[in-house]
Homo-oligomer: A and B are copies of this chain.
Amino acid sequence: MVRGEILQMLREEAGRYVSGEEASRRLNVSRTAIWKHIRALRQDGYDIEAHPRLGYRLCRAPDLLLPAEIKARLTTKKMGRAIAYFRRVESTNNEAKALAAAGCPEGQIVVAEEQSVGRGRLSRGWFSPFARGVWFTIVLRPPFSPQEAPKCTLLAAVAVCRAIRRATGVACGIKWPNDILYDGRKLVGILTEMSAEMDAINHIVIGIGINVNIGADDFPPELRGLATSLSLAAGRPFSRLELFLAVLAELERVYGQAVTDGFATVLDEWRGESVTLGRTVDVIGPGRRFSGKALDIDADGALLVQTDGGMERVLAGDVSIRTPERGAK
């Protein structure tokens, strides 16, 4: 509490000094307490100058997604209002599932600077290095039936895709159902998990990993050529915090729309952001393998693929987009 107030005060002074005495008076705590909090803030990565006569001055906030930084600038009503923050955690989805089971509010987020066992779909991993991306999970308690849950995954992809475009200008697109690609490479992964009774959702957790400032050589060899980052796409680094705030705002907008008016608009927005529709795709599993032209998604969010044998409806499995062949070999 006090720590956040000190930070807020220093931030309002916009680089000017605040004496220990004044800080002590304004926040009604001892000068020793002020000093202890300043020291803790420095350990969090805040660059705070301490001048023997003039007092304290905030030079630079750390490039971290600290709750105080998020809260200071959050524009949403619900999304991100409750924050669990970790410098390092196994998986934000696992933490979020535990919080959700314990009754946390809708919109609760779990944020980590680093995931040691970041998880992707179907037990795949997700590379989540320290402070280089936005790695977080949000808890929703939608009034939808479990059958509608897959559409929440499309909803998340729409929100993230739009937020990225707005905050960074990078021209990304969605590969069905919810990978976000730039130039054919993966920029964002989304892992949605739900806890449900047969006719009601208890909660959904949506894990979102956005590769922000990751250099080409930072990726493990097996991901090069498959993954990319916003900094690689634009040739410059981005503020993770700005992007994160944009994502939370978009999530609130799109989710609110789905709850109030149903999914029709969300599905239309998804179509507008899609890089899958109109392309030749290869579909693998479960239990089948075929190719065809991706024509549309239906009201359930399933991908409709025109094959030689007729229309196939894809609700699960891996879909890869064929790269146009360039000349003859």
Contacts and interface: CB of A to CB of B under 8 A. Distances in A.
A198 B150 contact: yes
As for how many copies of this chain the complex holds, the number is: 2
Interface string A187-202: 0000111111111101
A149 B198 contact: yes
Contacts of A101: 97-98, 101
Contact residues on A (Cβ < 8 Å of other chain), bracket: 20 to 34
A306 to B, nearest CB: 22
A280 interface: no
A315 B196 CA distance: 14
Interface in A138-181: 145-147, 149-150, 153, 177
Contacts of A286: 145, 199
A122 interface: yes
Given A97-B101, A101-B97, A199 B147 contact: no
Contacts of A150: 198
A89 to B, nearest CB: 16
A253 interface: no
Contacts of A198: 121, 149-150, 153, 177, 192, 316
Contacts of A193: 195-197, 202
Contacts of A194: 146, 194-196
A194 B146 CA distance: 10
A15 interface: no
A98 B286 CA distance: 28
A147 B197 contact: no
Interface of A: 97-98, 101, 121-122, 145-147, 149-150, 153, 177, 191-200, 202, 286, 315-317
15 contacts: A97-B101, A97-B195, A101-B101, A121-B198, A121-B199, A122-B200, A145-B286, A145-B315, A145-B316, A146-B149, A146-B194, A153-B198, A193-B195, A193-B196, A195-B195
